[in-house]
Amino acid sequence: MDLRDRTVLLTGATGGIGHAIARACAAEGAKLVLTGRRTEVLAGLASELGAENLAVDLADRAQLDALLDAHGEADVLIANAALPATGLITELTPTQIDRMLDVNLRAPIMMAQRMVPGMLARGAGHLVFISSLAGKVPAAHSSMYNATKFGMRGFAGALREELHGTDVGVSTIFPGFIRDAGMFVEADIELPRGVGTRSPEDVASAVVRAIQKDVREVDVAPLSMRAGVMVAGLAPELASRFQRKLGGADVAERLAAGQASRRDG
């Protein structure tokens, strides 16, 4: 799909990755509807890009319905919003678990359910789901985050099959560690030596390419991490042992600790 003059509904636009995606789509001539919860950040970005902005809490079902009533006819959905959802399952409250599921998984599913019929009727549309490499490789202290991101991958892949032969595309983006923005930076942890990162602009470029070329899945990570993902798919127990040997469990624990204050969104 050519993004020129297409309306793009982008959730999670207040973060650094959301900013990069918004700017990349605007550079392609898209008309943007930006959503998030930090209105002061949204307003500045919307002013810069000539976009519409709406403060929306995706865990609030009434607010989600109102958003879809107003903008459910958008040509492109980019579901980027997510909560960290890290921490041991025994540390989380039922309320926190519900909110993690609502924001990370239920909201993208319901947005697709409402938007796909209109896309099919118009004969054009694209849905992009921003997942994570945590949607392919499980890690300690991330059971809920893994659950939502694995779930997103499964939903998007099945939806793509259901829409095969139509003019509506579905893509899933899997970022690894992203520098300068996102949950990894907000947790303020240091990665082991040799673990590479990618930039928010790399994620944004992957999103635009996925829409324009109708790419099923894109991993946004260094070659070494992409190779590790392949090994995890073929030999998960071996990959887990290797991950523990390299200190992956320690990184996951520190990441969860750094994100603990954001479990309630």
Residues known to be catalytic: 145
Task: Give the strands of the sheet with 125-130, arranged side by side.
Answer: 52-55, 31-36, 7-10, 76-79, 125-130, 168-175, 217-220
The whole-angstrom separation of Cα 112 and Cα 156 is 9
Element (H, E) at 79: strand 76-79
Q: Between vectors from CA 20 to CA 17 and to CA 26, what angle results, nearest 5°? A: 140
Using DSSP, state whether 120 is helix, strand or coil.
Answer: helix
Task: Report which residue type is found at 200.
Answer: P
In angstroms, the CA 235 to CA 63 distance is 42
Q: In this structure, what token pair is assigned to residue 51? A: 């976009």
Q: What are phi and psi of 203, to 5 degrees?
A: -65, -45
- Tokens representing 183 are 């949950």
Sign, CA dihedral 176-174-252-82, equals positive
The span from the CA of 182 to the CA of 38, in Å, is: 15
Q: What is the Cα–Cα distance from 176 to 57, expressed in whole angstroms?
A: 25
**What's the Rg (C-alpha) of the chain?**
18
- What span, in angstroms and rounded, lies between the C-alpha atoms of 91 and 228? 29
